[in-house]
Amino acid sequence: MANKKSSIYQPLTESDAIALAKRLQLFDEKSQLTCNEIGDGNLNLVFRVVNSENNESVIIKQALPYAKVVGESWPLTLDRSRIETNALIKQSEFVPNLVPKVYYSDEALAITIMEDLSHLQIARAALIDGKNLPLLSKHIGEFLGKTLFYTSDYGLDQHYKKELVKQFINPDLCKITEDLVFTDPFFNHDTNEYEAELQPDVDQIWEDQALKLEVAKLKHLFLTKAEALVHGDLHTGSIFADETETKVIDPEFAYFGPIGFDIGQVFANLLLNALSKDTEKQDILFDHIEETWEVFVAEFSKAWKEDAIETFASVEGYLEYVLSEIFEESVGFAGCEVIRRTIGLARVADIEGIEPKEKRLLTKQLALQVGSELIKNRKSIKTPKEIKNYTKQPVNF
C-alpha cells in the first residue's frame, strides 16, 4: 500500500538532520555542524551534514511519502528506504569498494545515513561535461558481474534466495518502472512530454504494433523474471565517479528481476550521452558500452566457474546460453530506456540540454529510431559493437 506513514515519521528539516547526527554521536560531541539539503533527484530528501572544523561529513537520505518530481498527488511508499538500505548492505558483500558505506538506518523515519561521496561527480554530469571517466565501465562491469551472479540462482543457495526475494518485494517502485519505462511512452499517456514537432515520430511508435508486441514481452520479463537482485534504476545519475573511483548509489528500485534490466539501463544511458555528442566524441561512450559488457561477462564467468552452486553449471554450453539470453534482454531493455528517456516523464539532461532546438529534435528522432530498432532486432544483435551501427543511420522523416 502506498503512503503508509508511521506515527513518528516526519520529513526532516536541516536542523532536525543536525540534531539527529548529534543524537547518534556521528561526530565528536563539540563539533560545529552545518547542514544543507542537496537532493536534486526525483524522490527523496538528501541532507549533507558537515563538521565545519575538519570537513568530516555524512549523508542523511530520507524518503518522502510522495514523488518529489510530481508532488503530493503521487503518493509513494516509505518502504523504499528499507529496500535501499538492505540493497546497499547486500551489494557491499560483493563489491564493498563500489557502493557507499551505510552507517545507520531507521525504517520508521525512512532514513539511511551513509558515506558522503561529494568528492565525486554524478557520472551523467561528468559525461555531459566531456570527462572520460576512464574506469567507469570497468567498475560498472564488475558491479554488475558480481552483484548479479551472487544474488542469482546460479550463485546463491536457492532456498535462501527465495527468502531474499521476499525481503525485496518492491511493488510501488516496480510499478513506476512498469508504467514509465514499459507502458506510458508507447501509448498516448499524460505522463509523456516532448516537443510538438516530434509528434509524427511519436505517432510512429504508438502505431507500430510489431514494436509494441516486443515491448509487451520485455515488460512481462520485468514483471516475472526474478533472476537476481537488480539495482533497478542503474542510469548514469545513480553513479558517482571520478578518474579513479566509482560508486553506485540509490538502489531504492531494487528487487529480484531480470539481470539484463540493469545492464540495459547502463547501455541506454551511455548511448543517450553518445547521441548528444558530435561524432568524433562518441567513441569513448561506445567503448564504455563494450567494456561494460566485456567486464560483466568476465566477472560473471569467473564467478560461475569458481562459485556456481547450480548442479547444471558445469554442463557444456549452459553459461554461454545464459550470457546470450542476458545480452539479448539487455539490448531490448536498453531500447525501452532510450525511448522513455526521450519522450517520457523522466527525461535526461544529456538530450534535453542540446541546443539549438533543431539539433535536439534531430537527436530525439534518432534516439526514438535507435530505441525501436534495438527492441525489435535484439535477437539478431550479438555484440555491443553492433549497437553503434544503429546510431549511424539517417533519421527517417
User: Residues in the site for Mg ion, rule: CB under 5 A?
Assistant: 41, 250
Selection from ligand SR1, Mg ion, none that 346 binds (CB < 5 to 8 A by kind) is ligand SR1
What are the backbone angles phi and psi of residue 257, rounded to the nearest 5°? -140, -170
Q: Is 120 annotated as a binding residue?
A: no
74 Cβ contact list (under 8 Å, min separation 6): 66, 67
Window of 111-119, 174-182, 357-365, 386-394 that interacts with ligand SR1 by CB under 6 A: 174-182
Q: How far is the CB of 304 from ligand SR1 (least distance, A)?
A: 30
Window of 157-165, 173-181, 199-207, 351-359 that interacts with ligand SR1 by CB under 6 A: 173-181
Which 342-361 positions form the footprint of ligand SR1 (CB under 6 A)?
345-346
Selection from Mg ion, ligand SR1, none that 135 binds (CB < 5 to 8 A by kind) is none
Using CB under 6 A, which of 233, 262, 329, 350 touches ligand SR1? 233
| CA distance linking residue 352 with residue 16, whole number of Å | 36
Cα–Cα nearest to 300, from 330, 255, 265, 332: 330
Cis peptide before 75 (omega within 30 of 0): no
- How many of the other CB atoms lie within 10 Å of CB of 354? 18
Residue 228 pairs in a beta bridge with 257
- Residue 84 found at the interface with ligand SR1 (CB under 6 A): no
Of residues 71 and 394, the one with the C-beta less far from ligand SR1: 71
Selection from Mg ion, ligand SR1, none that 69 binds (CB < 5 to 8 A by kind) is ligand SR1
Q: Is 251 annotated as a binding residue?
A: yes
Q: How far is the CB of 12 from ligand SR1 (least distance, A)?
A: 21
| CA distance linking residue 368 with residue 18, whole number of Å | 46
The CA-based angle 103-49-234, given to 5 degrees, is 60
For 376-390, b where at least 16 C-beta lie within 10 A, e where not — what string?
bebeebeebeebbeb
Using CB under 6 A, which of 22, 24, 39, 42 touches ligand SR1? 42
Window of 107-115, 172-180, 301-309, 361-369 that interacts with ligand SR1 by CB under 6 A: 172-180
Residue whose cell numbers read 578518474: 243
Of residues 176 and 215, the one with the C-beta less far from ligand SR1: 176
169 Cβ contact list (under 8 Å, min separation 6): 255
80 Cβ contact list (under 8 Å, min separation 6): 43, 63, 110, 170, 172, 173, 252, 253
98 Cβ contact list (under 8 Å, min separation 6): 91, 139, 142, 143, 246, 247, 248
Which 180-209 positions form the footprint of ligand SR1 (CB under 6 A)?
180
Do 151 and 232 form a contact (C-beta atoms < 8 A)? Answer: no
Of residues 69 and 309, the one with the C-beta less far from ligand SR1: 69
Selection from Mg ion, ligand SR1, none that 58 binds (CB < 5 to 8 A by kind) is none
Selection from ligand SR1, Mg ion, none that 315 binds (CB < 5 to 8 A by kind) is none
Q: Is 283 annotated as a binding residue?
A: no
- Residue 67 found at the interface with ligand SR1 (CB under 6 A): yes
Q: What is the CA radius of gyration of the chain?
A: 21
Of residues 42 and 92, the one with the C-beta less far from ligand SR1: 42
| All three cell numbers of 138 | 570497468
Of residues 57 and 183, the one with the C-beta less far from ligand SR1: 183
Q: Is 12 annotated as a binding residue?
A: no
| CA distance linking residue 218 with residue 230, whole number of Å | 15
Using CB under 6 A, which of 3, 6, 15, 69 touches ligand SR1? 69
Residue nearest to Mg ion (CB): 250
- Residue 125 found at the interface with ligand SR1 (CB under 6 A): no
Expressed in angstroms, the distance from the first to the final Cα of the chain is: 45
Selection from ligand SR1, Mg ion, none that 67 binds (CB < 5 to 8 A by kind) is ligand SR1
| All three cell numbers of 44 | 527523496
Of residues 172 and 250, the one with the C-beta less far from Mg ion: 250
Binding site for ligand SR1 (CB under 6 A): 42-43, 67, 69, 176-177, 180, 233, 345-346
Residues in binding site for ATP: 44, 61, 115-117, 250-252
Residues in binding site for substrate: 233, 340
